[in-house]
Amino acid sequence: MQEILNRILEDCRRYTLEGEVASYIPELGKGNREAIGIYAATDEGDFFAGDWDEPFTIQSIAKPIFLMLAVRDNGIDVVKQHVGVEATGKPFNAIDYAEPLLLREHINPMVNIGAIAVCGLVKAADNRERFARLLDFTRRITGNPDLEVDQEVYDSEKKTGNKNRALGYLLKNSGMIYGSVEDLLDVYFAMCSLKVNCRDLARIGLLLAAHGTDRETGEQIIPREEAVFINAVLMTSGMYDGSGEFATTVGIPAKSGVGGGIMADCPGRMGIGIFSPALDKKGNSVAGIKMLERLSREMQLSIF
């Protein structure tokens, strides 16, 4: 396994020169486009190569975390009453949705508008408690008690996040979130600004690959039914409007983020964390997808 990761990473390093580092959040534009790392967490041990321990912000890979906790708090049926599960075919930050009655049918938890709605379903007395619960849960499922917010990225996101504000007020107008839009968006921006590395993402992937069971302790952190539901949503919608192509070339559940990360899981086998910040036009890591394509082909990871 180690030899495979080393070889794949070096073969795919050239793809770091393709694509562009995200700059619509100014702080992300400072990322090193040549960084590339991969981490695979398996029952047989952990394997890694390249810049796997370089920190970056989790960005949209926070979306399945919102979904995990919202489903645990409310159940699958309640969550599905608020957001749909169909792929939108739209960019992750699209705003051209029908409103208000059809809005629920045309968004899903892996696009920004759906993720903001799902974030609001995490039960808490207020948004301060909501963020604390999400942070504690993320530390638990990554096995990393030191996770913290990148303050510079958070400030940058909050300052420039006007499109997400528009999405939040559209949800508010449609009766899909309650309370202060700004306070809920603070939670959303802070969670997207968590500093992680490839190992952290691989640990999340391993939890989902084990259908919600912590492989080290044997604890069922997420009920199996809910883990299956989340994996299905990731399979159809986790790679933005490139999810269909990703399903045909890689064929495993995954979630990308504009910080350059990809969290993927191969059910029953492994969790994978990827980092390479140069993105394609859909917001997915160019080298990251190439590494996953190679790994899936060589190890026959596709679930299809």
Dist. CA 9–CA 1, nearest whole Å: 12
258 is catalytic: yes
In DSSP notation, 126-179 reads: SHHHHHHHHHHHHHHHHT-TT--B-HHHHHHHHHH-HHHHHHHHHHHHTTSS-S
The b/e string for 246-279 (b: 16+ C-beta within 10 A; e otherwise) is bbeebbbbbbbbbbbbbbbbbbebbbbbbbbbbb
The b/e string for 54-80 (b: 16+ C-beta within 10 A; e otherwise) is bebbbbbbbbbbbbbbbbbebebeebe
Q: Could you tell me where the beta strands, DSSP code E, fall in 172-260? A: 195-196, 254-256
60 is catalytic: yes
159 is catalytic: no
Catalytic residue selected from 118, 154, 188, 255: 188
Give the C-alpha distances (Å, rounded to integers) separating 270 from 40, 91, 146, 206, 264.
7, 29, 23, 5, 9
Contact between residue 268 and residue 209 where contact means Cβ atoms under 8 Å apart: yes
154 is catalytic: no
Catalytic residue selected from 71, 111, 149, 258: 258
Catalytic residue selected from 15, 39, 60, 237: 60
Catalytic residue selected from 240, 243, 276, 296: 240
DSSP 25: S
Catalytic residue selected from 15, 63, 158, 255: 63
255 is catalytic: no
Residues identified as active-site: 60, 63, 188, 240, 258
